[in-house]
Structure 1
Amino acid sequence: MDNKELVVSFFTEGYSNHNYDYIMECVAENYIDHSPAGARSNADAVNILKIVEGQFADLKIKVLDVFSENEMVATRILYDGIHIGTCMGIPATGKHISFEALENFKVADGKIVESWGYWPDKEIEQKLKA
């Protein structure tokens, strides 16, 4: 599996299939997430995925763009789901929302070791409050 395939499978297995055992395998134990979520291990990464699962039902992930050069993989992802749990302090609304996020990954020895992510927090908040 090349680096792009690994990252795409992270999204599919983590967000869509909730295959957390796979995430524990494909993400390094000493993983560092440089986004505000701030995971510092593969277990932290799984916990973040579980939080998102509790916030959005029927979450669909579509990889819009994926680029790879050497150990770096850049993505643009479309998230689409129903708001069922508190997100950004906003209780469940039952609203269907979608948004795009940018996430970059560093892969070493067949595992995701670092990531930098941007979710459009203001856009998500506005959609949930609308």
Structure 2
Amino acid sequence: MTESEIVYRFLKDGYENKNYAFIMDCVSENYIDHSPAGARSNAQAVEILKAVADQFSDLKIEVLDIFSKDSMVATRVLYDGIHSGICMGIPATGKRICFEALENFKVIDGKIVESWGYWPDKQIEQKLRA
């Protein structure tokens, strides 16, 4: 698989399909997440994906853009799910929430070794409270 294919599968299998075995395989044991979530291993990355699944049921993602150069992969992703668990301290509302996020990845030897995620936290919070 190319770097872009690995990242695409990470996003689809991790967030949408909940194929955590694939995540354990495609993410390095020494993975570093530079987003506020701050995972420091593939196991912690899976825990973050599970937490998001608890917050947003029926989560669907659409990879709107994906670009790769050397070992870096940049994405723009549309997330769409039902707020079904506590998120940002806000109890489940049952509302369908949709937002775009930027996620960038470094892939070395077929493994995701680093990532940088930028979710629009203020926008998500406003939608949850509306």
Matched residue, 2:77? 77
* Count of aligned residue pairs for this structure pair: 130
Give the CA deviation at 1:32: 0.1
Matched residue, 2:57? 57
Q: Which amino acid aligns with 1:88?
A: M
Q: Which amino acid aligns with 2:46?
A: V
Query: In the aligned structure 2, how far is the partner of 1:15 from the partner of 1:115?
Result: 15
Matched, 1:99 2:99: yes
Query: In the aligned structure 2, how far is the partner of 1:45 from the partner of 1:97?
Result: 22
Matched residue, 2:48? 48
Ranges in structure 2 where 5+ consecutive residues have no aligned partner:
none
So what's the TM-score if we normalise by structure 1?
0.99
Query: In the aligned structure 2, how far is the partner of 1:15 from the partner of 1:76?
Result: 14
Matched residue, 2:26? 26
Give the CA deviation at 1:44: 0.4
Ranges in structure 1 where 5+ consecutive residues have no aligned partner:
none
- Measured against aligned partners, the alpha-carbon deviations of 1:12-63 in whole angstroms (never above 9, x if no partner) come to 1101110001000000000000000000000000000000000001100000
Matched residue, 2:120? 120
Query: In the aligned structure 2, how far is the partner of 1:88 from the partner of 1:16?
Result: 21
So what's the TM-score if we normalise by structure 2?
0.99
Matched residue, 2:110? 110
Q: Deviation above 3 Å: which 4+ runs of structure 1? A: none
Query: In the aligned structure 2, how far is the partner of 1:122 from the partner of 1:12?
Result: 24
- Measured against aligned partners, the alpha-carbon deviations of 1:83-117 in whole angstroms (never above 9, x if no partner) come to 00000000000000100000100000100000001
Query: In the aligned structure 2, how far is the partner of 1:7 from the partner of 1:26?
Result: 9
RMSD (Å), alpha carbons: 0.3
Query: In the aligned structure 2, how far is the partner of 1:29 from the partner of 1:20?
Result: 14
Query: In the aligned structure 2, how far is the partner of 1:117 from the partner of 1:53?
Result: 17
